[in-house]
Amino acid sequence: MQHGKYRFIVGFLVVPLALYALFVLWPFVQAIFYSFTNWSGLSPDFQMIGFDNYTRMFEDEIFWKALRHSLIFAVVLPLLTIGLALFFAFMLNVGGRARKGAAVTGVRGSGFYKIVYFFPQVLSIAIVALLFKFAYNPTDGVLNSLLRAIGLDSVQPDWLGDPDLALICVMVVLVWSTVGFFVVLFSAGMASIPKDFYEAALLDGANRFTTFFRITLPLLWDTVQSGWIYMGILALGAESFAVVHIMTVGPRGGGPDFSTIVLPLYVYQNAFGPGQAAYATTIGVALLIVTLLFATVVMRLGRRERLEY
């Protein structure tokens, strides 16, 4: 009987695991292999060169700029996005004044606010990047037009053309486009917390600040940790690539003076620009290591005793 059970389990797992190995694990193995070669990506011919690509990468100033910017994204973007999402979700679900016999409720119009916060998720990240690129236009963009309208003609920043501002402008777009998803995620988590906990806290005289840090955050911690890892991966991956590539200046994005270059974009530039696919896979391996280290650090630092209710 036990033997038949195991055969049944293996029969169901063998096909999904084979597909996972073929389409997920095997590309990683190929990327690591090609990082030790001299391969253009345009032909099947390649030459083994050992660690030359890694030596070149460690001596590449643009790589270190891209790595620094990606690490800034991985640290700052989750902090801002998760923090704002927790605040908005708390106010929408718990932060309102008591009314109609309900001791715990969200702010008035919370249903409408949820739609407003989630609206950016309906738009493609490419559309969002284009909209903000027009808004940041120094000549006729929305931001500088508003500054002129209120009499600040002398304050006309070149938002995406200033190396000191460009990276901040990109981060603002990423926060705006992703915070709504986490508002919905945390709202779902808060809805599952028994209202009795909040009502008991109110009877004991707890304010919103105490209620959040003593009840909401501890009971929502697993969701917050998962959201932190997910946001960090977004910041290190496709989201940052799309926004930087579309919004920033330069022949292939990442400017000015590589002030917004990130690792995914640098991989793309090397693979499809000068045709240095092997060097691009080397940078991709570095990005993989950074992503794994980020997830490991967040899981280790966020480890705590699980609370159940």
pLDDT tens digits, 117-149: 888 888 888 899 999 999 998 888 899 899 888
Query: Could you give the CA distance from residue 61 to residue 275 in angstroms, rounded to a whole number?
Result: 19
Are 108 and 15 contained in the same domain?
Answer: no
Are 193 and 117 contained in the same domain?
Answer: yes
Are 80 and 14 contained in the same domain?
Answer: no
Residue 1 has pLDDT above 50, yes or no: no
Are 282 and 215 contained in the same domain?
Answer: yes
Query: Could you give the CA distance from residue 177 to residue 116 in angstroms, rounded to a whole number?
Result: 12
How many CB atoms are located within 10 Å of the residue 296 CB?
Answer: 11
Are 106 and 202 contained in the same domain?
Answer: yes
For residue 251, is the peptide bond before it cis, meaning its omega torsion is within 30 degrees of 0? no
Are 224 and 267 contained in the same domain?
Answer: yes
The pLDDT assigned to 101 comes to 52
The per-residue pLDDT for range 202-230, each reduced to its tens digit, is: 777 777 788 888 888 888 888 898 899 99
Are 2 and 89 contained in the same domain?
Answer: no
The per-residue pLDDT for range 2-61, each reduced to its tens digit, is: 556 777 777 778 888 899 999 989 988 998 999 999 988 878 888 899 899 999 999 999
Sorting pLDDT into bands at 50, 70 and 90, what band is 98?
low
Residue 203 falls within a domain, yes or no? yes
Residue 54 falls within a domain, yes or no? no
Tokens 């946001």 belong to which residue?
A: 231
Residue 52 falls within a domain, yes or no? no
The pLDDT assigned to 99 comes to 58
Are 127 and 18 contained in the same domain?
Answer: no
Residue 127 falls within a domain, yes or no? yes
Quick one: residue 182, left, alpha or beta (phi over 0 = left, psi -120 to 50 = alpha)?
A: alpha
**Tokens of residue 281, six digits:** 């896979």
pTM of this prediction?
0.87
The per-residue pLDDT for range 147-191, each reduced to its tens digit, is: 888 888 788 888 888 888 999 999 999 999 999 999 989 988 888
The pLDDT assigned to 293 comes to 92
Cβ density class 168-197: b for 16+ within 10 Å, e for less: ebbbebbbebbbbbbbbbbbebbeebeeeb
Are 212 and 77 contained in the same domain?
Answer: yes
Residue 100 has pLDDT above 80, yes or no: no
Residues 6+ away with beta carbon under 8 Å from 235: 70, 73, 74, 77, 78, 174
The pLDDT assigned to 10 comes to 77
- Where residue 252 sits, what CATH number does that domain have? 1.10.3720.10
Residue 45 falls within a domain, yes or no? no
Question: How many domains does the chain contain in total?
Answer: 2
Residue 224 falls within a domain, yes or no? yes
Domain that holds residue 1: 1-29
Are 7 and 103 contained in the same domain?
Answer: no
Residue 6 falls within a domain, yes or no? yes
Residue 7 falls within a domain, yes or no? yes
The per-residue pLDDT for range 245-279, each reduced to its tens digit, is: 888 877 667 778 888 999 999 999 888 877 788 99
Are 149 and 278 contained in the same domain?
Answer: yes
Are 16 and 153 contained in the same domain?
Answer: no
